[in-house]
Chains A and B, each alone.
Chain A
Amino acid sequence: MKGEMSMSFNMGRKDFKKKYREYHQARWDEPIIFELSQKGERGVILPEAEPEVAAVPLPELGTMARKTPPRLPEMSQMRVLKHYLHLSQENIGADETVDIGQGTCTMKYSPKINDRLANISDFADVHPRQDESTIQGSIEIMYRMEQMLKAISGMDRFCLHPGGGSQAILVIATVLRAWLDAQGLSGEKDEIITTIFSHPSNPACAAIKGFKTITVYPDKNGRPDLDAMRAAVSPRTAALFITNPEDIGIYNEHITEFTKLVHDAGGLCAYDQANANALLGIARAREAGFDLCFFNIHKTFSSPHGCGGPGCGAIGVREHLVKYLPAPLVGFDAKENRYFLDYESPSKDVRVKDFYGVLPALTRGCAWIMSLGPDWLREVSRVAVLNNNYIFKKVTAMRGVSAPYAEGEYRMEQVRYSLRKLKDETGIGAAELINRMFDYGMHLWSSHEPWIVPEPFTIEPTESYSKAEIDEYLAVLEHVIDECYTEPETVKSAPHKSAIHRFDHDILDDPERWAITWRSYLKKYKNYFEPR
């Protein structure tokens, strides 16, 4: 009996068989912060300057002196706090839900101890220009992180600066441009090849550094089409920017042929491993023939996503490209037992970001790997892939859902599913299903555009969720799909249990009507959206 009860969470209720819970998000009807302003209230008082300090005459600033104070809200401290706590309750984090519906983003557990460690004063209240003797701890974290990432990838050196995966791709494009410039090849080699199931920042960042993009589409098995790849490669090929397994969770077993084709054409191969959660200790960038790769510390290595950053995209290269990495790199002098920032690089005048990297993310990632070590790190990937295949089996048995490509094959860490059949049969697609899922407290995301897989959604369970939680998520998904057939109007009119109801999306694409700030709103509208 006890075992049965633990499979269900609604102990104390009569219906022990119910597999999902009722949910309602907090609904505070929270005003815009400016509406809470009370003239004269203060949130914090700064220390007053001593009389001798205050007595020093200040310069006349003329037109540079601000005439009118900024119209910021005036609020006592607790009101500010309460406002944001209300907003936090009208939000949902990975900590609160079974966050497996945000495929490609690796929403894993970020251990609380690591948050505390990242924020201890000796790490958080350190200035980047302090004397080297006073920042040994921060540099050591960076050094240790680099050593571990080198082992995990097989690359020879890492630059830890980028503040996210897209900025890491910008570093890849920067290194590529510098490598071509150094050989006088920038005029000849001006194309990169990527795949449609690689992240959109691959072509977008390549364009920043002046490259044209050729995009390879999948063959019928879901792998990037090898013939299309052969046709794409030419003397103009500067590099391959590719993910593997791609966003659909299918491993491209021809990957070494891809890297060889590009190398034979005189180009470089860059591996987008933003999400590397299927392959830790199992396969590395080096053996697959890559010259560069990057990891998102906020995905595979557990640093939290923070509503969209700060993250960290650590980018690694093989020896022949080290000289093109932005400086400083991190060094260790074993004789003097001293960590240092190494500016001795030919590309020391190249930077993509202020200072040295997002230390809170690096500290969390470093602590996370240290907790696991080599054996449990490998287990992370094994369990992430086990969880995914368990879900794969269950979801593809659901009505109206399919998983295009590679029929009969297992998947890696995620799967891109299609609701085409559901849409055909009920008129309900991914967008509506997503809204209804949240009525049960569960998040589902469609997928990156373009929707090559029709009506897509992507599930990536990671290693962080127990079987019971996964079952709960699947029970909700199955129930909502069932509702599409039995109560379609309930699904179409969702969400019903969110902090807010449906809003007019068209307004956000109309320059006459959009308002990106409160002051802009007040210029365009009076009362509640009455045009001025």
Chain B
Amino acid sequence: MMSASKFESHPYIPNSVPSVQDEMLREIGASSIDDFFKCIPEDIKFKGKLEIPEGIPSEAALKRHIESIASKNKSVNKAISFLGGGCWNHYVPAACDEINGRSEFLTAYAGDPYEDHGRFQALFEYESMMAELLEMDVVNIPTYDGAQAAGTALRMAGRITGRPKVLVPELISPDRMKVIKNYLHPQMNVVTVRTDAETLAVDPDDLRAKTGADTAAVFIENPAFLGMIETRGEEISRIAHEGGALFIVWADPSSLGVLTPPSGYGADIACGDIQPLGVRMHFGGGRGGYIASSDDEKFVREYPSRLFGIAPTTHGEWGFGDVAWERTSFAGRENSKEFVGTAAALWGLTAGVYLATMGPRGMADLGSGIMRRSYYLAGELSKIDGVSIVGNGPFFKEFPVKFSGRSVKDVNAALLERGIFGGHDLSPDYPSLTNTALYCVNEAMTKSDMDALTSALSDILR
């Protein structure tokens, strides 16, 4: 290669060795690599040198350089973090990272069921363990994230019912709402349902009034974005079904060791994000969306995702392959059910490892450990003058905290100086929740972590 570099072969490019290139060119009968690019018209060839930094071919030097960038971050391990709101700092068992780092999984892609039997089985088992958590018979290979899962669940409802409108609670996660709106536009439309000012739960009367012959689905989050547990699931389900609409619930899987799964109160489709199940946060980049339903063919045929099923082999082994392939965009292009592509399979596999490691007891401990800590923290915080907890219904993991007369921005800046990441500021997205932040706990938080927050806030708000 013509280069100022002092080495003639880059470690990532074995055939950059000049003698090898010469040999290959001889075999081809070409005189130079340039011959292969003669098909590109001269006027669109790039003539200059790309304006990117000179290479750092030394692995040690590259490592040092990237590590210096990483050191400008401050991870949650170097602070006490109370941030949640759709991305959560749960404990990740070591087995999760061990398995998803295995190169046989990490660098695999699209081998067929005889080459990638392990991938098919591991993902079938992911589907199966999620199915137990959700008590539903069909679960997809994960889509990009929980927001995409919500969008797809709603479009599935649109196709199944042939109706264009979906109802969502007004206190839905603001970012999820944006994804849903964009994903449904222009064929379907989203209408919000009022939530009760006291409980923050969906107002059944408003829901009943808005559910009509054009309604494809009633969608709720449970627990809601603001942490509230929707206790009237059965009533909402009844209203939806009486109107001929489907009932879709977005559920945080970390809650399902203690909370009834959506199928237990009438949901037709459950969806959500699997990040809490053994996937590190990665600045919001570790996500995966699950969708689940009954085994009704009418539903199964509407999934855009891959679905792995089990099959018998000639020798009595467990075999696995794609179920109902023809519905996918790989087979149907513009006539398919939405689209499918590379999304989040490795996180699905990881969530499987997590669920197997946790088991039923672990998931129950996870849920109750989170409940206890969130109630302890809310109790302690509410004792501070100028602090109140918003909403009087039950909650899980997260709850809104209001500071009288102090902006969340100010409070968080003061907390940061004390090594604490304060809750997510809700004020910009929810005009009714001024000076309010969403506080979140996790199962690994200690009493002293939480007491540190209480003491810091008492000090700051004095």
Q: How far is the CA of A46 from the CA of B368 in the complex (A)?
A: 11
A516 touches B46 (CB 8 A): no
Given contacts A131-B421, A356-B285, 16 further A-B contacts (CB under 8 A): A87-B121, A91-B111, A91-B118, A105-B109, A117-B67, A125-B76, A140-B72, A186-B186, A212-B334, A308-B109, A359-B283, A376-B57, A386-B21, A389-B30, A466-B15, A503-B313
Answer whether residue B460 sits at the interface, using C-beta atoms and an 8 A cutoff. no
Answer whether residue A523 sits at the interface, using C-beta atoms and an 8 A cutoff. yes
B24 touches A508 (CB 8 A): no
| A355 neighbours in B (Cβ, 8 Å) | 87, 175, 283-285, 287
| A519 neighbours in B (Cβ, 8 Å) | 128, 131-132, 137
| A71-B360, A389-B28 known; A204+B329 contact, CB < 8 A | yes
A69 touches B52 (CB 8 A): no
Q: How far is the CA of A186 from the CA of B186 in the complex (A)?
A: 10
A123 touches B282 (CB 8 A): yes
Answer whether residue A64 sits at the interface, using C-beta atoms and an 8 A cutoff. yes
Q: How far is the CA of A166 from the CA of B143 in the complex (A)?
A: 11
| B335 neighbours in A (Cβ, 8 Å) | 207
A393 touches B28 (CB 8 A): yes
Answer whether residue A8 sits at the interface, using C-beta atoms and an 8 A cutoff. no
Answer whether residue B141 sits at the interface, using C-beta atoms and an 8 A cutoff. yes
B282 touches A517 (CB 8 A): no
B421 touches A72 (CB 8 A): no
Contact indicator per residue, chain A 146-188, by CB within 8 Å of chain B (1) or not (0):
0110011010000000111111011000100100000000100
B104 — nearest CB in chain A belongs to which residue? A88
Q: How far is the CA of A363 from the CA of B280 in the complex (A)?
A: 15
| A129-B83, A355-B285 known; A465+B14 contact, CB < 8 A | yes
Of A70, A117, A166, A206, the contact of B63 (CB 8 Å cutoff) = A117
| A74 neighbours in B (Cβ, 8 Å) | 359-361
Answer whether residue B462 sits at the interface, using C-beta atoms and an 8 A cutoff. no
Contact indicator per residue, chain A 202-223, by CB within 8 Å of chain B (1) or not (0):
0111111110110100000000
B106 — nearest CB in chain A belongs to which residue? A304
Q: How far is the CA of A166 from the CA of B183 in the complex (A)?
A: 13
Answer whether residue A226 sits at the interface, using C-beta atoms and an 8 A cutoff. no
A370 — nearest CB in chain B belongs to which residue? B56
Answer whether residue A306 sits at the interface, using C-beta atoms and an 8 A cutoff. yes
A90 touches B29 (CB 8 A): no
Answer whether residue B191 sits at the interface, using C-beta atoms and an 8 A cutoff. no
Residues of B10-25 at the interface with A, using a CB-CB cut-off of 8 Å, are: 10, 12-16, 20-21, 23-25
Q: How far is the CA of A77 from the CA of B99 in the complex (A)?
A: 12
A307 touches B119 (CB 8 A): yes
Answer whether residue B321 sits at the interface, using C-beta atoms and an 8 A cutoff. yes
Answer whether residue A492 sits at the interface, using C-beta atoms and an 8 A cutoff. no
Answer whether residue B138 sits at the interface, using C-beta atoms and an 8 A cutoff. yes
| A33-B129, A87-B118, A256-B44 known; A310+B344 contact, CB < 8 A | yes
Give chain A nearest CB distance to B87 CB in angstroms. Answer: 5
Of A443, A501, A508, the contact of B323 (CB 8 Å cutoff) = A508
Looking at the complex, which of A10-18, A344-352, A420-428, A478-486 is the stretch in contact with chain B?
A344-352
Answer whether residue B424 sits at the interface, using C-beta atoms and an 8 A cutoff. yes
| A255-B44, A307-B123, A308-B109 known; A69+B321 contact, CB < 8 A | no
Answer whether residue B444 sits at the interface, using C-beta atoms and an 8 A cutoff. yes
A505 touches B137 (CB 8 A): no
Answer whether residue A115 sits at the interface, using C-beta atoms and an 8 A cutoff. yes
| B119 neighbours in A (Cβ, 8 Å) | 87, 91, 307
Give chain B nearest CB distance to A334 CB in angstroms. Answer: 16
A87 touches B122 (CB 8 A): yes
Contact indicator per residue, chain A 490-532, by CB within 8 Å of chain B (1) or not (0):
0000010011111111011101001111111101000011000
A64 touches B114 (CB 8 A): no
Interface residue count on the B side (C-beta < 8 Å): 222
Q: How far is the CA of A514 from the CA of B335 in the complex (A)?
A: 23
Looking at the complex, which of B162-170, B238-246, B301-309 is the stretch in contact with chain A?
B301-309
Closest 7 CB pairs of A and B: A373-B55, A355-B284, A166-B341, A128-B284, A503-B319, A91-B118, A306-B346
Answer whether residue A403 sits at the interface, using C-beta atoms and an 8 A cutoff. no
Answer whether residue B431 sits at the interface, using C-beta atoms and an 8 A cutoff. no
Answer whether residue A95 sits at the interface, using C-beta atoms and an 8 A cutoff. yes
| A44-B358, A131-B416 known; A515+B300 contact, CB < 8 A | no
| B2 neighbours in A (Cβ, 8 Å) | 375
Looking at the complex, which of A227-235, A262-270, A282-290, A314-322 is the stretch in contact with chain B?
A282-290
B110 touches A95 (CB 8 A): no
Q: How far is the CA of A410 from the CA of B30 in the complex (A)?
A: 10
Q: How far is the CA of A352 from the CA of B178 in the complex (A)?
A: 8
30 A-B residue pairings within 8 Å (CB atoms): A42-B359, A43-B362, A46-B366, A56-B372, A61-B231, A77-B357, A93-B103, A95-B107, A102-B110, A115-B106, A117-B63, A121-B77, A126-B282, A130-B421, A131-B421, A133-B74, A138-B73, A166-B342, A200-B332, A207-B334, A306-B105, A350-B178, A350-B182, A373-B57, A376-B13, A466-B15, A500-B315, A502-B313, A504-B311, A507-B312
Give chain A nearest CB distance to B33 CB in angstroms. Answer: 5
Answer whether residue B133 sits at the interface, using C-beta atoms and an 8 A cutoff. yes
A77 touches B95 (CB 8 A): yes
Answer whether residue B268 sits at the interface, using C-beta atoms and an 8 A cutoff. no
Contact indicator per residue, chain B 1-15, by CB within 8 Å of chain A (1) or not (0):
111110000101111
| A503 neighbours in B (Cβ, 8 Å) | 113, 311-314, 319-321
B24 touches A390 (CB 8 A): yes
A500 — nearest CB in chain B belongs to which residue? B317
Residues of B288-344 at the interface with A, using a CB-CB cut-off of 8 Å, are: 288, 295, 297, 300, 306-326, 329-336, 338-344
Q: How far is the CA of A207 from the CA of B98 in the complex (A)?
A: 40
Residues of B58-111 at the interface with A, using a CB-CB cut-off of 8 Å, are: 59, 62-63, 65-67, 69-77, 79, 81, 83, 85-87, 89, 91, 93, 95, 97-111
Contact indicator per residue, chain A 354-393, by CB within 8 Å of chain B (1) or not (0):
1111111111001111111111111110110111011001
| A282 neighbours in B (Cβ, 8 Å) | 37, 40, 45-46
B259 touches A75 (CB 8 A): no
A352 touches B309 (CB 8 A): no
Give chain A nearest CB distance to B257 CB in angstroms. Answer: 7
Of B340, B362, B373, the contact of A53 (CB 8 Å cutoff) = B373
B231 touches A62 (CB 8 A): yes
Q: How far is the CA of A445 from the CA of B108 in the complex (A)?
A: 13
A364 — nearest CB in chain B belongs to which residue? B66
A308 touches B75 (CB 8 A): no
| B54 neighbours in A (Cβ, 8 Å) | 373-374
Q: How far is the CA of A69 from the CA of B179 in the complex (A)?
A: 33
Give chain B nearest CB distance to A408 CB in angstroms. Answer: 11
Give chain A nearest CB distance to B131 CB in angstroms. Answer: 4
| A47-B444, A72-B133, A356-B285 known; A92+B115 contact, CB < 8 A | yes
B282 touches A372 (CB 8 A): no
Q: How far is the CA of A371 from the CA of B45 in the complex (A)?
A: 24
Contact indicator per residue, chain B 257-293, by CB within 8 Å of chain A (1) or not (0):
1111100110000000100000011111111100000
B76 — nearest CB in chain A belongs to which residue? A125
Of B72, B273, B367, B446, the contact of A136 (CB 8 Å cutoff) = B72
